[in-house]
Amino acid sequence: MTGSITAGIGSVALGAESGEPPLPQKLMATPAVVMAPRSDGVEVVWSVTRLCRGWVEWRLEGGAETHRCAADDFGFVPQGDSILRVRLEGLEAGKKHELRVVVESGDGDKAREETAWKKFRTLDPAAAAASFVVWNDTHQNDETIRKLHEVTPSADFLLWNGDTCNDWHKEEWLVPTLLHPAGQDISAGRPVLLTWGNHDVRGKWAFRVKDMMAMPHGRPFYAFRNGPAAFISLHTGEDKPDAHPGFAGRVAFQALRAEQAKWLEKITQLPEIKSAPYKVVFCHIPLRWIREHGEPNFAGGGYNHFARECRAEWNDALVKWGAQVVISGHTHEEAWIPADDRFPYGQLISGGPKPAAARWIEGKADGEKLSLIMRDLDGKVIHDVKISPA
């Protein structure tokens, strides 16, 4: 087993011997969030209150032998004063594991903390079945997030389908929103994957999201196989042109859309992605919408309800691949748009941030069907979609 570490953003904490005010007694500011599951590992991300060193210990569930990932590429124990990240690699596919994080003060005192053991399972392309859950457009609504966390079951992964926030105008919003939303440990029982939404890229601190939300392969788009289903997650960018004055020159998504188009042509031809009985796409802004009119008046406050530029770039590759369903958010209005002659993939769109409008999706795939059930926070079924294997 090998591991890699990224550590440290933010301001330096006051030293224990500096004569300054006392150091915070608590070292860890958030739970250890298990992210970006793969067949050979996961990435663990957490926040600390001051300069610390830390590492991840892991073992097979119930196993006697414990392993430790505690060295970076330059020979240091992982350390930093704000964010610590440890990437576990070389784990066995489809196996149940458990991990914990250990943190020690880097300021010369003897403070030390360790988390409880947290269970997770690596993904398994050869599994007979797969399960996943989907949230979207939580927009820092604590009441909705707490209820979502309460009602959402354990699964192979939780796909957070964009718009975790309203914007990132203040840097201090990042850690609590992404790593400890509404005070919940959202990766308990379900490692987290992020699909980027348009609000996730807004505000002068949006570029920091990538420091604390791990991606399976380091890019904001990715593909993987789990059981009988292949999944592709795409970054639809903003809902207005890059040159819109509201973005103040901070975004350049047209190049990223074109890059993903080329990547789609290649990734969909990989044997384990191409041969999957079920083919699922996640993207925050839907590729189809129930009301497709002319281009919005962007100067007058209009925005794209569906990803026009993305569809133009990606549609042919997705059709060639045989995509069966695209799962999105963005509109705050749920909808199911069945496949038709023009678009041979269905479009499932989930709800909004307020509790009455919030929705979540439970997906299960086996040899007989892919089931996608959308529910409200009270458990009422809103949509029940069944897809047969290709």
Long-range contacts of 337-344 (CB under 8 A, 24+ apart): 337/288, 337/289, 337/290, 343/287, 343/288, 343/315, 343/319, 344/319
Which range marks the domain in which residue 101 is found?
A: 3-121
Are 302 and 341 found together in one domain?
A: yes
Distance CA 235, CA 225 (A): 18
Q: φ and ψ at 365, to 5 degrees?
A: -125, 135
Q: How far from the centroid of its chain's Cα atoms is residue 121's Cα?
A: 16
For residue 362, the domain's CATH number is 3.60.21.10
Evaluate if pTM is beyond 0.85: yes
Are 68 and 151 found together in one domain?
A: no
Are 232 and 364 found together in one domain?
A: yes
Are 137 and 279 found together in one domain?
A: yes
Domain-terminating residue out of 121, 151, 182: 121
Are 39 and 186 found together in one domain?
A: no
Cβ atoms of 27 and 106 closer than 8 Å: no
For residue 113, the domain's CATH number is 2.60.40.10
DSSP string, 119-184: EEE---TT-S-EEEEEE---TT-HHHHHHHHHHPPP-S-EEE-S--SS--SSGGGHHHHHHSGGG-
Are 222 and 359 found together in one domain?
A: yes
Are 96 and 198 found together in one domain?
A: no
Are 134 and 235 found together in one domain?
A: yes
Distance CA 110, CA 381 (A): 52
Q: Give tens-digit pLDDT for 117-152.
A: 999 999 999 999 999 999 999 999 999 999 999 999
How many domains would you assign to the chain?
Answer: 2
Query: What distance, in Å, lies between the first and last C-alpha atoms of the chain?
Result: 36
Are 107 and 202 found together in one domain?
A: no
Are 187 and 113 found together in one domain?
A: no
pLDDT by residue for the chain (390 residues), tens digit each? 445 444 444 433 444 445 566 777 899 999 999 999 999 999 999 999 999 999 999 999 988 899 999 988 899 999 999 999 999 999 999 999 999 999 999 998 999 999 999 999 999 999 999 999 999 999 999 999 999 999 999 999 999 999 999 999 999 999 999 999 999 999 999 999 999 999 999 999 999 999 999 999 999 999 999 999 999 999 999 999 999 999 999 999 999 999 999 999 999 999 999 999 999 999 999 999 999 988 888 888 899 999 999 999 999 999 999 999 999 999 999 999 999 999 999 999 999 999 999 999 999 999 999 999 999 999 999 999 999 999
Cβ neighbours of 331 (radius 10 Å): 20
Are 54 and 152 found together in one domain?
A: no
Domain-terminating residue out of 121, 141, 159: 121
Are 352 and 295 found together in one domain?
A: yes
Domain-terminating residue out of 121, 139, 163: 121
